[in-house]
Structure 1
């Protein structure tokens, strides 16, 4: 493969697709790596989506993500169907190792999302695909006029239970809380209570999935009495949270105890040039709208990272003469006097180049050289930092140059 890009996005869910739109629109050579046949991530398995801005009457996850993918393609984003296995850093390049070869890029956005959490109860793994499912949109029609059980009581679980009632004869939700208490938002709870096809089992947990060749029932444990009862059913749907897909970068990127990637508000990870967006990162709210926002921010930050890096390399590190770099800010009035002094030192005659860096617009370089006070001056020769001044006076600058 061995292609080279400005921006590689790993993951084709809403975060990755939004990043693809913003990256390619900014004229970055952009590609989205997605191992599935169709992009969309978890959102593409969500049938009902009525809280995405602009769709008051609702839309479907597959339709929304299809439009996002078409939007990214329209701006020139390339889609590569393969699986990312590892990211390596080599100087200012990032190497994404895939099943089909290496891809070289200046920046990477990790948008691999999360996958359904497995409870690990007895029978869950044994009957997966034979009555155990994690996606109502994918499998609901298999249970037409049959009885199913839903494990979980958050927004996703209850929304998917409501969707299942379009097909199933009866849907039973197992709820760990006391009667009338669920983790789902009130409006979603009310819809579930009003649906005649939905029943609830309160104060209980799923103990076991039972069956022969396929699921024939479940064992449910009452948390207050300890009693275990068996309920016949034809399928079990699990909606008990997600696990981030970050194993492939666990030795490179800083994560929290649950495996979610830690970023700042620019979606920057602890590794320069690598960003994270969407459900894969540590965040307060995991929704399609916040994933799309993350992707837009990450791509914009990646664009600025490239511009800042390449500008600094050209103007400073690869300069053919010594360089004075003055870090200034329009909010610090005294820096204007400092710049004026430097511009009148006759630097051209001394074969010295002056580069001005606005710390407000160029935080990356300022942070790299630990610029704490404004103004601060750095002196480079042949790309190597030779001296540093925080007391930027004419006398001190001349001492550096002449010394």
Structure 2
């Protein structure tokens, strides 16, 4: 597909490889027939100018005129060569004028000005000897030259307009292709971010319980049963979330062109169930929520930030107490802080790709906010995010 895309400018502008076979569409055949008929018509209009000419000149005019009209069918493959030959022949012959006009138009359409301009100039130069060799009794030398220049400029301007229109169409197609590729890229990034946010939390919970069982094989049967049940629930929720995300990907857009509905998204109200789930996994998490009824988009971003920060805390500081603070309101924005001690003895270390905090930073920036993370002077690891909360925004607006 990429190879044909690079050939698109050559096809539209006619600047492709002349050795490549010309494949005419139905429209191309219609245009070529019209151009052939136009060349023949212009050649027939010059028949009265042959009166009084010697018989050999008349025969040469008719033969060369017919051949030049037939050569119009080669204008797509060799437009420059056709224009040069017809321009040279038009120094004396009149019936070549139709094919010369078609060739000039073709060069103006299919070649840049650095090529078509000199060919137009060559055509003007041929008018000088033609005006003296084949003068017209009524128009005179100057009249023939003026009419020739006017016809050449008209044909050339027409070709330039057609070329400019084709360039515009090609440019619009390129922009549309680029916009489509950018939309696909953004959608892939959104899906990847959603998959990471949904599954990283569940899998880290599952790994935490499994690690506890691994390092405490002598635990009471009741604790082992509780941990196994938590593992089963985490795996079940992970599969359920994965089905929802894949279901959104498989959802086909309705005929009316409405957007594909997104999977159910969490809000600020879902922070409490998230903390309870962490408590069941054995984490010590303290939540301080001081925010009103935030918009759904803002609440979703805050939830994802807290969820990923808790996942990182489980990975790198398992067993450490975590403090989650969410505060703010319309106009001032919403500030989210997740804090946990740095040096904590870990039972097991959950592997990670290191893309979680990068994804959180990108999410905050896309929402118009900012995110900072790193060690504090108190020996804690802090994730702080600020997201804007416009005054006029409400849940009904979302």
| Range of TM-score over shorter length | under 0.3
Which has more strand, going by share of residues?
Answer: 1
Per chain length, whose mean CA-contact separation is higher, i.e. which structure has more relative contact order (CA < 8 Å, sep 6+)?
1
Which has more helix, going by share of residues?
Answer: 2
TM-score w.r.t. the length of structure 2 is 0.27
